[in-house]
Amino acid sequence: MRAVELFTGAGGLAMGISQAGFNHDALIEWNKDACDTIRENRQRGSAEVMSWPDVMQMDVRAFDLSQIPAGLELLAGGPPCQPFSLGGRHLGYNDKRDMFPEAVRCVRQLKPKAFMFENVKGLLRESFAQYFEYIYLQLTYPCVIRKKDELWVDHLARLERHHIKGENDELTYQVVFRLLNAADYGVPQKRERVIIVGFRRDLEKEWSFPLPTHSHEALLFDQWVTGDYWERHRVSKRARPAMPVRLQGRIDRLKDGALPFAVAPWLTVRDAITDLPDPQSDKLAGNFLNHRYVAGARIYPGHTGSPLDEPAKTLKAGDHGVPGGENMLAYASDGVRYFTVREAARLQTFPDDYLFHGSWTEAMRQLGNAVPVKLGKVIAESIKQQLASRKLLARGAAR
């Protein structure tokens, strides 16, 4: 099955989609450092990207969509999140970086069988509620085009009338969205992201988001009821942290029930990086790509780092540089240090042979903007399964 990736960044979502079995016709990204990351990995022979075409370093608005053959299965991408990010300027539709109009244009022209777009949790905040409805309806009816000089709110009103009438255009999508926590799908990071998925209505598909594969309750059970987590990591009873007081009630209920879980435990920072050598003191750290110690980490209000035995806090790209608190490891002794680029890549589920181009700040910005590979793979696999089942039904009908 074929895919096109918009706003590719360093390739996290594209890699997940590839792992799910899609082949990319094109990858488009304007940022030079992110493009250089993909180029360097192709030159180095990284297995994950060798099947990819050369990344096109350009603005999506300049990409000639006519070069993509008809019959595209999946259009995907993460439009720049800064207009809606909790850490950004909150300009939303007034931010020139809002690329959702371009995402809609690409849906309209490429007519993919399905699309998947990712963005930050802030997109669902109350102050953006009306604009999110606008995005949703444009993706549902991409051929109801905004007229020249028409205000977006007037276009929204026209889309709403179109929707109420129940008119079926030649190109209409069944669109669903959900706020997902990447930790619920095996990513060692508490990263909440809005995922928007649409299937072309003529395919008559019924699709829902895949069920979580991991849970916080299972982690608490593993740590504080059975103790298997500590045994697995060979952490002696003396070296274990104290049971979190804030979670005492939940842990007591788990002890009372003592029931096995159908899903796996959330993965923690320790799960992700425990086999990496200490970048500050171990000479073997140089054997791992991008695993270099960076000094200067400090605690300040609201930025205390990620505990070792929980999923990491959300890695952030930052509007002006990298926020320190979200990209630090917090030791039980109250000390902190910055995650290395390799550790951050582990937290985003990139493979160890994937090199990030640029300085620590630039590499961390690429990682902060990335979609976790594993999360992208889980959703893309579910989409592919539905598309494949539709093909089987069509073949059966043809016979």
**Catalytic sites, residue numbers:** 81
Specify burial of residue 57 (Cβ count, 10 A radius: 0-12, 13-18, 19+).
middle
Element (H, E) at 330: strand 328-330
344 phi, psi to nearest 5 deg: -65, -35
Helix (H, G, I), strand (E, B) or coil at 125: coil
Question: DSSP letters of 213-228?
Answer: SEEHHHHHIIIIIS-H
Backbone angles phi, psi at 159, to 5 degrees: -65, -40
Measure Cα distances from 101 to 145, 154, 387 in Å: 10, 15, 26
What is the rounded radius of gyration, in angstroms, for the C-alpha atoms of the chain?
22
Alpha helices in the chain (DSSP H): 12-19, 32-44, 100-110, 129-140, 152-165, 216-220, 228-232, 248-257, 269-273, 341-347, 360-369, 373-398
Alpha helices in 90-203 (DSSP H): 100-110, 129-140, 152-165
Contact 60, 46 (CB under 8 A): no
Distance between CA atoms of residues 385 and 153, nearest Å: 37
Beta strand pairing call for 336-338 and 328-330: antiparallel
Alpha-carbon distance of 146 to 138, in angstroms, equals 9
CA angle 199, 200, 201 (to 5 degrees): 105
Contact between 71 and 108 under an 8 Å Cβ cutoff? The reply is no
